[in-house]
Amino acid sequence: MMISITQKFKPYTRVPGKHLPIPGSLLYAQVFPERWRVFSASHYLLFEGDMKISGPLKNFAVFQDLHRGGLAVHSECYKYYLHPSGRCEVSPKGLPSASFGFPLLSLGVHKHADWQKIRQRQDLKEILPFWLRLGAMVPEGEEDASLYTLGAGKLLTQVQQSILSKEKTEIVSKLHSLFLSGYSECFLPRRFDAEHQGILTEVFQEDAEVPFALLRKSFSILMEIFVRIQDNFLEILPSLPPEFPCGRLVGVHLPQIGRLSFEWSKKTLRRVVLVASQSTSIVICAGTEGGTCRQREWQGKRLPGAKRLSLGESVEIKAGTTYLWDCFCK
């Protein structure tokens, strides 16, 4: 009965020389079949190395590991890893366990995650889960308020306003514009549209630094489409666009409450699971005023008993207890 996502979050490119953000860092890499380079956000070359091979290679690919961090570089001749530190290693040893790679989002698309094909398809149901993970993994850093007044930063502010105002039919079109103009083919953030697509009004300028802060900020903004917490008021799917009729969001950390997972289909919430870390009271809102749901608690491997709960009613939760809410109805 626990909600899970089995999909692997490892988008990749087979095109040599593409600039890719290194998940879990403020660095980016450029990888070729026989050479790799790691750069700082200010485009300073930090590390580089060569692979002694006799080409051409047939199975060259660079994977972004959105569970543990870093890049994995594969071919028929070698396999190595570029860690978030920028160092090249022969194994992923030392990276965080994949069990810590949360939250995870699925919107029902399970195609091969080739960045070039993702860019061609332009399907936000496919893009948003990777976008969310990349943003979640960006470390804290200095933030320049001027980032949000022009270019892609201004677009991000407009997206946030639509999400907070619950303008559900406007969100996807604005996200689509932000995706095309604010990120390169392999999702390296940028303030100005290097592809000159006519989306941004500002004249193109070369970024002095990669604006990783925009990617980090986008994580918290995107999360507010699906879950919002204020004091003890928990709102689930508050700004869900009609283009996302089904999906799952797993492992959302709620401070002073616990870890939340839920799923929905046909634009309707189906199941909510909360593993409580602290004893407190919460109020659940699922977009249905005056609605009800069924509440059960795990005891060992069983779910004995059940009671009906009115949405908007305060619920007492106990630390160490796992709760299931389902059978939502008006």
Kindly state the tokens that stand for 251.
């492992």
Q: What is the DSSP annotation of 99-123?
A: GG---EEE-S-----BHHHHHHH--
Phi, psi angle pair for 327, to nearest 5°:
55, 50
CA-closest candidate to residue 9, choices 80, 75, 64: 64
Alpha carbon distance 244, 242 (integer Å) = 5
Which of the residue ranges 89-98, 170-179, 297-306 would you say has the lowest mean pLDDT? 297-306
> Which residues, 6 or more positions from 210, have their beta carbon under 8 angstroms from its beta carbon?
21, 26, 28, 41, 42, 43, 188, 189, 190
Statement: residue 165 has pLDDT above 70? yes
Q: At what angle do helices 151-164 and 168-182 cross, to 10 degrees?
A: 160
Residue 4: other Cβ atoms inside 10 A? 13
Alpha carbon distance 140, 216 (integer Å) = 8
Q: Residue 287's pLDDT band (boundaries 50, 70, 90)? A: low
How much is the pLDDT for 261?
96
The DSSP letter of residue 192 is S
With contact defined as beta carbons under 8 Å apart, do 320 and 278 qualify? no
**Which pLDDT tens digit goes with each residue over 48-79?**
999 888 778 889 999 999 999 999 999 988 89
Statement: residue 80 has pLDDT above 90? yes
User: Checking phi first, is residue 242 left (phi over 0); if not, alpha (psi -120 to 50) or beta?
Assistant: alpha
Reduce the DSSP state of residue 262 to 3 states and report it.
strand
- Rounded to an integer, the average pLDDT of 277-294 is 84
Residues comprising the chain, all counted: 330
Statement: residue 288 has pLDDT above 70? no
**Which pLDDT tens digit goes with each residue over 244-271?**
999 999 999 999 999 999 999 999 999 9
Statement: residue 99 has pLDDT above 90? no
Residue 197: other Cβ atoms inside 10 A? 10
**Which pLDDT tens digit goes with each residue over 20-33?**
999 999 999 999 99
Reduce the DSSP state of residue 243 to 3 states and report it.
coil
Q: Residue 174's pLDDT band (boundaries 50, 70, 90)? A: very high
- Rounded to an integer, the average pLDDT of 2-18 is 94
Q: How far is CA 89 from CA 30, 73, 84, 93, in A?
A: 16, 11, 11, 8
CA-closest candidate to residue 174, choices 157, 191, 187, 188: 157
Statement: residue 107 has pLDDT above 60? yes
How much is the pLDDT for 57?
86
Alpha carbon distance 184, 172 (integer Å) = 19
Distance of CA 297 to the CA centre of its chain: 29
> Which residues, 6 or more positions from 129, have their beta carbon under 8 angstroms from its beta carbon?
7, 9, 104, 105, 106, 107
> Which residues, 6 or more positions from 101, have their beta carbon under 8 angstroms from its beta carbon?
9, 66, 67, 68, 133
Residue 304: CA atoms inside 13 Å, Cβ hemisphere, count?
Answer: 3
How much is the pLDDT for 329?
85
Average predicted confidence (pLDDT) for the chain: 91
Kindly state the tokens that stand for 27.
């660095």
With contact defined as beta carbons under 8 Å apart, do 106 and 7 qualify? yes
How much is the pLDDT for 300?
67
pLDDT over 90 for what percent of the chain? 69
- Rounded to an integer, the average pLDDT of 193-216 is 85
